[in-house]
Every structure is written in structure tokens, then in C-alpha cells.
Amino acid sequence: MCSYVDRRGRGCDSAWCQLHQQVVFNAVYCRRHAGVIRALGPDHEAMTLPDLENRAPSLANWVGRDLDGPIRELLTTHFPGREINVTAVVNAGGMRDRTWGRSWKVISDTGVDSSISLSVPQADDSIVRVIYDGSVLAELTPPWIEARRGGVTPNPEADAGARQQFYTAILDHLQAAVLDAKSRPANAYRLRSS
């Protein structure tokens, strides 16, 4: 049996053979809930877990993991020599407006110089919010979710192309936001100083 029990005390009623079960932190899970537990990490037992059908932490982890390298590169390019702090999966907000996400912060002696977050609201686990310095730049639905909703199974080449376009759109939003922030006179001293 899958070991997942959500915040309402409901357990996943699926059972898996040894070939198809997923073992995460010494417990057996179905594929879906293994993704959620992996996203939350070893401290998942101290958290209020999302509802059985909710994929917000898993989606936040998936997109954050895929964009970790390019986001680090973006920040390193624009903030050379600064420390980058990455939080793997975080949750924020109350139960009604809870979000799950990953964040990258540029740290200097004066504090946080810049921050990027990719956030997925628990209320709509199909949206990825792209956030720079606390401002939402975009809300995007990943192409694999759109395809699933439409009952479409794209060929691997089309799927890879759609995923690349999705990730490029996120990075384009972030690049524009960083350049805009750097061009503002109020930020000029903070961004130049090390």
C-alpha cells in the first residue's frame, strides 16, 4: 500500500508490486505521491501534507529542478561573486492560499539583493507562478498538463519542443526582470556594490 496520508487524514488506497512501487525515505509510495514526498524532502513528516489529489509540491519541484542550472547561471552572470542560496521546496501562506515552490536568493553583506521564486498554488496545481523580488511576472500552465487536459499524447519530439518553449518563456521573463531592476537608479548602488 502507498504510505501517503494527507492533511485530512486520508490515505492513498493504491497498492503496488515491488517492480512498480517507489521507496522514498524508507516508505513505499505510488508514483504520484513519491514525487510529492521527494519534493518535500526528509522533513516531510513535520509538514501538513497536501490533499491526496494535489500535485503542487511535485510540480514545483519538477520545474524548479529543471530550471535550477539556468537560474543559477542567470543570477551568477548578473551578480558575480555573490552567494546564491537555494531553498529546494518551500510552502507559504495559510491553508486556503498555500503555495509550494522553490526559491533562489542572491545574498551579500547587506542582505538579500535579489530573489527568484517558482511557485505553484495548492488551490490550482496546474499553474507555475514566476516571481522576481516579490512581484509575479507570469502564471503559466506547463504544456504536459495542457496536453493531458486535452486528452492529447504528443510524440516525444513535440513534447520536448513544448517543454523547451515553456522553460524558455520562464527564463525570458526572469532575464527581463533582472535587466529592468538593474536599470533603475535606486538599485544601481546596491547592484554594483559587492
Give per-residue pLDDT as tens, 33-73.
Answer: 998 888 788 888 888 888 888 888 889 888 999 999 999 99
Q: What tens digit of pLDDT does each residue of 141-151 get?
A: 999 999 989 99
* Distance (Å, whole) CA 1 – CA 100: 26
Strand partners, 102: 118
Retrieve residue 8's grid coordinates.
485530512
Q: What are the cell numbers at 181? A: 531592476
For residue range 10-19, list pLDDT tens digits in order: 999 999 999 9
Residue 26: what pLDDT?
A: 93
CB 121 within 8 A of CB 56: yes
Instruction: Give the three cell numbers for residue 9.
Output: 487524514
| pLDDT at residue 192 in the model | 47
User: Strand 27-29 relative to strand 83-92: parallel, antiparallel, unpaired?
Assistant: unpaired
Q: Which of 181, 168, 190 is nearest to 134 (CA)?
A: 181
| In contact, 113 and 82? CB cutoff 8 Å | yes
Among all chains, which residue has been given the C-alpha cell 504520484? 32
Dihedral, 159, 165, 171, 177 alpha carbons, nearest 10: -140
Place of cell 520545474: 63
Q: Which residue has the cell 517492480?
A: 19
What's the pTM value of the predicted model, to 2 decimals?
0.81
Q: Which of 82, 139, 130 is nearest to 103 (CA)?
A: 130
The confidence band for 189, taking pLDDT boundaries of 50, 70 and 90, is very low
**Mean local confidence (pLDDT), 21-39:** 90
**Block residue for cell numbers 515553456:** 166
3-state secondary structure of 118: strand
- Across the range 24-29, mean pLDDT stands at 94
For residue 187, pLDDT over 70 is answered with no
